[in-house]
Structure 1
Amino acid sequence: MNVKRLASVVMVLGCVSAFAKSSGSPAPEAKAPADREVWITVGSDAAHIVSATLVGSGLAAPAKLGQKGEVTAFRVRESELNLISRAMHDQVNRCSGFMAHDSEASALAALDTTTATKAMRSLAVDYTVDNATAVYALSGGLQEANIRDTITRLSTEFTTRYHTSSTGTAAANWIRSRWEGLVPADRLKSTTNPAGDITVELFTHTPTRTTQPSVIMTIQGTTLASEIVVIGGHLDSTSSGSTAPGADDDASGIATITEVIRMAMVQGYRPQRTVKFMGYAAEEVGLRGSQEIANKYKTDGLNVVGVMQLDMTNYKSASAPADVAMITDNTNAAQNGFITSLISTYFNGQITWSNSSCGYACSDHASWTNAGFPASIPFETPMGQHNSAIHTVNDTLSRSGNNANHALKFAKIAAAYLAELAKGTVTVTDTTPPAVSLTAPTSGGTVSGTVTVTASASDASGISRVEFLVDGQVVTTVVAAPYSFSWDTAALANGSHTVAAKAYDGVNNSATSSAVTVTVSNSTGTAGFDSTLQAPRCASASSSCDSGLLLNGRGGVGPEINTPNTLRDSCLDGVSGAYHSDESNDRIKVSTVDGTPFAPGKTVRVEATVWAYSTTADKLDLYYTGDATAATPTWTYITTLSPPAKGAQTLSATYTLPAGAVQAVRARFRYNGSPAACGTGSYNDHDDLVFAAQ
């Protein structure tokens, strides 16, 4: 067995194995709990770890109470929970990896948590996408700076938010005050204003579970008040070091929710369904806060029609294939589909998504699922491409580049979810479009290579985004100032082209700048990145097309930019291994054998420069398509080649060009497996090269 192939890292929400490498206490000011009996449920695939950990530490084996499918119940001691939690972190990368229960009966009742068999306790909801005015009003004016400020304050002003610490309780009170301060006086319900439709309260938990309160803000629904929509994240933090800043886990989620609340108040939002924003206590020690709330709502017969969990929203791996990872296990499939439809409808071109999974009890959504309510969690990055600093003293805003740009995307998704699931109306008074102008390049100029395009935009309601258009087509969207992007002109045919900017304000009024006309002049045969096709492209027909350095590396392994560099991001790369130690396809060149321009019927040579790890297990599959602009290109197999030696190797083959004005070749360099135009594999690299033919 190849030992290096066992190095793949798997991450689960809110935890990393580094947590188990310190022998320090969970957090400053953590109080030792009474050593009472407690009951926990864990994923059956990790149940053996509970027994092995306790026995290996010289303690009695835990009492196994029962097992049903994917969940196992144990009786343990309170003092053993930290040891179990560390083992879960270290051995299966789960956090906390278990649910804590108040009694044996409640633990046994939690054994069946599969969505397929769990009877939904809420009424069925017709998921409709028809409230655009409210969506744009709630999402358009969201500001990165406000999210950043809340993350900064929570992660720096509270030494830790661990659930037994005094600063953990202080943080909950700060969040309550912050949310309450966003509510207009005439809407905040009080003894002097009983007609108010909004309350902000602390939820006091059973003392044996946690002394930290949760925070709940309620906006009373207008016409469907008995139906409840929940948007939540956990407010506690943990670390094995001297502090627990928890900037990403989960100050980012709380900050995202806070900014959505701010815009809802600014826009005078009045939902049809009752909305509850929640900051959960004690998530890191068995989902204690959210469990107690969800179970109370279940016992009280409340009709929760939807739950969105925001646990970590501000870190994105450079190799992540999309902005948002929709967690598919222990969530509601119908609601997941609804959320991705919101992304496609309102943020197409701005936010991308893919699916992922996180295992048993990985965040507070599991509490709601277990109680029979539909819950979803859009997460900041796919499992395995995680923020390695969480649960350490280094979980600070610097891990996200000292900005909240990624969290802003989740605020927009949450705002759309709020407007479309809770429905309701806003009060929009701004009808004036923003002022926008293109400041570079200048009209009449000649450009080549990569050019910086900049625009200025302003509006009384704030600027939500600026789209840059080349020849009338949107090539990129910028959501925060400065409004600029790097335009790779090599992907366009030489000649005259127009550039413009379109700005949108906080309530979706828009305006487009005057177009600037420039002349593109690049040497033929050198590819540029095509932001529409999402792959290197030679736009002018020539006798050769070379990707140059655009493909160097694989996924997030190495310097490859614009990953995955396949048509419309249609095929992803594996993310395991190291640059120029493991497999990568670094360059593709296509050229005619006779030296004349590309044309149907011409014989061309494809050369792929790869970095080989093995001369026997590594294979290069080559394919071509005659229509690279098709929504789903048809790939034709050319051949499979083996590297003659390890390290940098150039492999080549020939084929005859089919009919088509915009063609492409694909190189798939794989470790083991079988030939396929697109396949799975932790070490696979897929790259396309697009070129014009006469």
Structure 2
Amino acid sequence: MSLKGLAPAALLLWGAAPAFAHVPALPHTAQFTEDRELWITLATDSLDDVQGTLRGPGMTAPAPTRTKNGVSMMKVRESQLFRISELMHEKYKRCAGFLAHETETEASEAMEKAGAPEQPQKALVTYTLDNADTANALIADLQEPNLYDTIVKLSSYTTRYYKSATGAEAALWLKTHWAGLAAGRPDVTVEEFVHTNYNQRSIILTIPGTTNASEVVVVGGHLDSTVGSSGSNPSTLSPGADDDASGIASITEVIRSALAQNYRPERTVKFIGYAAEEAGLLGSQDIARWHKNQGINVVGVLQLDMTNFKGSASYDVGVITDYTNAAQNTFLRSLITTYIPALKIVDTKCNYGCSDHASWHNQGFPASFPFEATFNDSNDYIHTVNDTVAQSGNNAVHAVKFSRVTAAYVAELAKGSVNGTEGDTSPPASVLTSPASGATLVGPVTLTANATDNVAVTKVEFYVDNVLKGSDTTAPYSFVWDTVSTPNGAHVLSAKAYDTRQNVGASPSVSVTVNNPSTLAEYNPTLKVPTCATVNTKCDSGTLLTGRGTLGPEQNAPNTLQGACADLSKGTYHSDESNDRIVVSTVDGTPFATGKAVKIEATVWAYASSPTTDKLDLYYAADATAPVWVSLGTLTPSAGQAQTLTKNYTLPSGGALQAVRARFRYGGSTSTTACGKGEYDDHDDLVFAVTK
């Protein structure tokens, strides 16, 4: 590779001088057009398919190949790399899935090394978890909207293909953005790493170490995207939001948090946006090889490639175990379980040359690769026009998890501190901003608080009458308190804020009054059923329905609208069938209203000897004053004696009072009139007020 414009001293005085001298940006219109010959290495299992696609229309037939250690090498034209990349993704879910080499010698060396990746590598440092103050401070300041903005910006380029003008522009934008984050820190450098044969630069931000600067920690992701199936056409749309604007966004937010808090690592930290990953890891290979040739002691590498698509419902982080360092992977898992314990981890593999960590691994540096899912569950939209942030719900919620992992990795591997963490005894300041003092509260209420600290706030807790109700770790701090579960009357609210040293700052207390209408129904002698006459979030029959007819006995039997359905009294109380209670509540905890999802909970007493012969028919009526019953289906108890059966439905448009009916029976069949005549039938209605 060529290091254009770099002063020799800049290459030698690592830690004492910037690693790379500033290189003026090339004009965005400059392009290298030569379709040169390259060599690639790839997993042998994909060789036949790669050769097949290169024999297709418009392609040059591939040159002969050599194979060793499960890896093959072959000579190709640079213009063919895009098609190889597409095939690797489409058939093998590998990205890029191969390494491109300038010379046959480099390719041959890579093939020879391929027998070593599964062998354990020696750890270059002792892994310890003893820098919690710094890790917690960096993690606490990470903000999801910042990641989202970075993803949106990078994916707004038509393509970030490494040989396109917009690909070069995207790299220079990243350099400018990182330099802005580093304003006010003259010790921090943001530089371009110039590659031969294409204009896209890799971007490197370096925070020099304080006491152990000769040891280097690297965090990287690739800034380029593909050009899709249209080849090197620069107008081909390739937003690359997940692959890999998301990884760059996760890294960028860690940079912002670190520099905003004046982070001073003991070891030197390099954050890198690699060029030309999709073309066979070209950019990262240049950089890893340069570090090896210069004798730079890189003690750890973390790769972030695709962080914002949660493809696995059961897992948050897939730890790539092939072509990575086993000891550092163990360290990575420990970081996650210690600092982000809510994240669920799974091991997975991604095969040969799947991302830039492989470039460092091949040079003998310890590398790890936390991935957004298991590899088989990765994002199917990458390498297409549909790789947009919309595929991740138009947010960066998943990507911020990887920022937290990265912040912990940097804090515990590079060590060091942020301003104020050492000897900090100052507690945070906190204040409840809502609800206001003296407020009368009904139903669910959002408690909000402001909290500030000289270093960083890590958590705010919310208390009711000095009892902890909930907490939040991300500003703006809030918690939804359902006052329905609290007795009516006067209550005192307060908050506590914590910083990285576990200093605690309590807010002034706020006095409020809870005044929820009762959720217990009262018997309505006009309707002749238990009724909740005031709109609420819940209506509970309480004990008004206990029993069946004269068994129990049931108060106000039969408790059906206008006494429409009679109960029979055959059998023995709480040996034979009865419906004892009905509760209706909204699913989201807000008051009853047209269109709301509600849940019916019917507590029944089933016959112990044969409970599955008992059946519960449920109905609803949109207007309790003129009921037309609609069936909600039939439920079967799974065991004898008391149990609760549930059913959800949506409140229809109708009257101000609506109703549900439970008919519990032994055998028999459903009734179109919602009334039965079985000897063990128990019919009960519950009426509740609804906002139209």
Equivalent residue number for residue 272 of structure 2? 278
Equivalent residue number for residue 190 of structure 2? 200
Is 1:63 the counterpart of 2:57? The answer is no
SS at match of 1:124: coil
Deviations 1:371-406 (A, max 9, x none): 221111222333344444433344344444443333
Are the structure 2 counterparts of residues 63 and 452 from structure 1 closer, same or farther at C-alpha, using a change threshold of 3 Å?
A: farther
Q: Which residue of 421, 437, 454 maps to 2:432?
A: 437
Structure 1 residue 409, shift from structure 2 partner? 2.5
Is 1:355 the counterpart of 2:347? The answer is yes
- Answer whether contact 1:442 1:518 (CA < 8 A) is retained: no
Equivalent residue number for residue 160 of structure 2? 161
> Superposition pairs for residues 446-461 of structure 1, below 5 Å?
451=444, 453-459=446-452
Structure 1 residue 288, shift from structure 2 partner? 0.7
- Answer whether contact 2:142 2:253 (CA < 8 A) is retained: yes
SS at match of 2:417: coil
- Answer whether contact 2:428 2:457 (CA < 8 A) is retained: no
Taking CA–CA contacts closer than 8 Å with sequence separation of 6 or more, which of the two structures ends up with the larger relative contact order?
1
Structure 1 residue 257, shift from structure 2 partner? 1.9
Separation in 2, partners of 1:508, 1:282: 44
Is 1:415 the counterpart of 2:407? The answer is yes
Deviations 1:115-170 (A, max 9, x none): 655574x75321111111211222222233333333333333x4432211223222
Separation in 2, partners of 1:456, 1:335: 39
Equivalent residue number for residue 343 of structure 1? 336
Amino acid in the other structure paired with 1:129: L
Separation in 1, partners of 2:613, 2:133: 51
* Identical positions, percent: 46
Equivalent residue number for residue 224 of structure 2? 236
Q: TM-score, normalised by structure 2?
A: 0.63
- Answer whether contact 2:302 2:357 (CA < 8 A) is retained: yes
Are the structure 2 counterparts of residues 45 and 650 from structure 1 closer, same or farther at C-alpha, using a change threshold of 3 Å?
A: farther
SS at match of 1:285: coil
- Answer whether contact 2:188 2:207 (CA < 8 A) is retained: yes
Q: Which residue of 326, 331, 334 maps to 1:333?
A: 326
Separation in 2, partners of 1:312, 1:509: 36
Is 1:265 the counterpart of 2:266? The answer is no
Consecutive unaligned residues in structure 1, runs of 5 or more = 1-27, 189-196, 525-539, 551-560, 562-586, 596-600, 608-647, 658-694
> Superposition pairs for residues 14-93 of structure 1, below 5 Å?
33-57=33-57, 59-69=60-70, 71-93=71-93
Q: Which residue of 207, 212, 230 maps to 2:200?
A: 212
Q: TM-score, normalised by structure 1?
A: 0.63
Separation in 2, partners of 1:547, 1:335: 53
Equivalent residue number for residue 356 of structure 2? 364
Is 1:248 the counterpart of 2:222? The answer is no
> Superposition pairs for residues 441-590 of structure 1, below 5 Å?
451=444, 453-459=446-452, 465-466=459-460, 477=472, 479-481=474-476, 483-484=477-478, 502-504=496-498, 509-511=503-505
Amino acid in the other structure paired with 1:202: E
Q: Which residue of 382, 390, 414 maps to 1:390?
A: 382
Separation in 2, partners of 1:220, 1:296: 18
Structure 1 residue 417, shift from structure 2 partner? 0.9
Separation in 2, partners of 1:104, 1:544: 80
Amino acid in the other structure paired with 1:215: I
Equivalent residue number for residue 14 of structure 1? none
SS at match of 2:134: helix
RMSD: 4.7
Equivalent residue number for residue 100 of structure 1? 100
Deviations 1:178-200 (A, max 9, x none): 32333354x52xxxxxxxx4322
Deviations 1:287-341 (A, max 9, x none): 1111111122223332211111122223335x62233332233222322222222
Are the structure 2 counterparts of residues 174 and 651 from structure 1 closer, same or farther at C-alpha, using a change threshold of 3 Å?
A: same
- Answer whether contact 1:324 1:353 (CA < 8 A) is retained: yes
Equivalent residue number for residue 311 of structure 1? 305
Equivalent residue number for residue 323 of structure 1? 316
Structure whose CA Rg is larger: 2
Structure 1 residue 594, shift from structure 2 partner? 4.9
- Answer whether contact 1:369 1:375 (CA < 8 A) is retained: yes
Equivalent residue number for residue 426 of structure 1? 418
Separation in 1, partners of 2:377, 2:634: 29
Deviations 1:445-465 (A, max 9, x none): 9988xx454322232667555
- Answer whether contact 2:461 2:468 (CA < 8 A) is retained: no
- Answer whether contact 2:137 2:457 (CA < 8 A) is retained: no
- Answer whether contact 1:29 1:164 (CA < 8 A) is retained: no
Are the structure 2 counterparts of residues 222 and 392 from structure 1 closer, same or farther at C-alpha, using a change threshold of 3 Å?
A: same
- Answer whether contact 2:495 2:506 (CA < 8 A) is retained: yes
Deviations 1:518-561 (A, max 9, x none): 7999899xxxxxxxxxxxxxxx9x999999999xxxxxxxxxx9
SS at match of 1:343: helix
Are the structure 2 counterparts of residues 267 and 79 from structure 1 closer, same or farther at C-alpha, using a change threshold of 3 Å?
A: closer
- Answer whether contact 1:591 1:606 (CA < 8 A) is retained: no
Amino acid in the other structure paired with 1:329: D
Separation in 1, partners of 2:502, 2:237: 42
Equivalent residue number for residue 291 of structure 1? 285
Deviations 1:623-651 (A, max 9, x none): xxxxxxxxxxxxxxxxxxxxxxxxx9989
- Answer whether contact 1:142 1:464 (CA < 8 A) is retained: no
SS at match of 2:375: coil
Structure 1 residue 228, shift from structure 2 partner? 1.1
Greater Cα shift, 307-316 or 143-152: 143-152
SS at match of 1:222: coil
Consecutive unaligned residues in structure 2, runs of 5 or more = 1-27, 229-234, 522-541, 547-579, 588-596, 615-632, 643-692
Equivalent residue number for residue 213 of structure 2? 225
Are the structure 2 counterparts of residues 98 and 523 from structure 1 closer, same or farther at C-alpha, using a change threshold of 3 Å?
A: farther
> Superposition pairs for residues 611-650 of structure 1, below 5 Å?
none
Deviations 1:244-283 (A, max 9, x none): 3333322222232222222222322221112111111111
SS at match of 1:110: helix
Amino acid in the other structure paired with 1:78: E
Aligned length: 523
Structure 1 residue 652, shift from structure 2 partner? 7.9
Amino acid in the other structure paired with 1:383: F
Separation in 1, partners of 2:327, 2:438: 50
Are the structure 2 counterparts of residues 546 and 198 from structure 1 closer, same or farther at C-alpha, using a change threshold of 3 Å?
A: same
SS at match of 1:372: coil
Deviations 1:554-574 (A, max 9, x none): xxxxxxx9xxxxxxxxxxxxx
Are the structure 2 counterparts of residues 436 and 606 from structure 1 closer, same or farther at C-alpha, using a change threshold of 3 Å?
A: farther
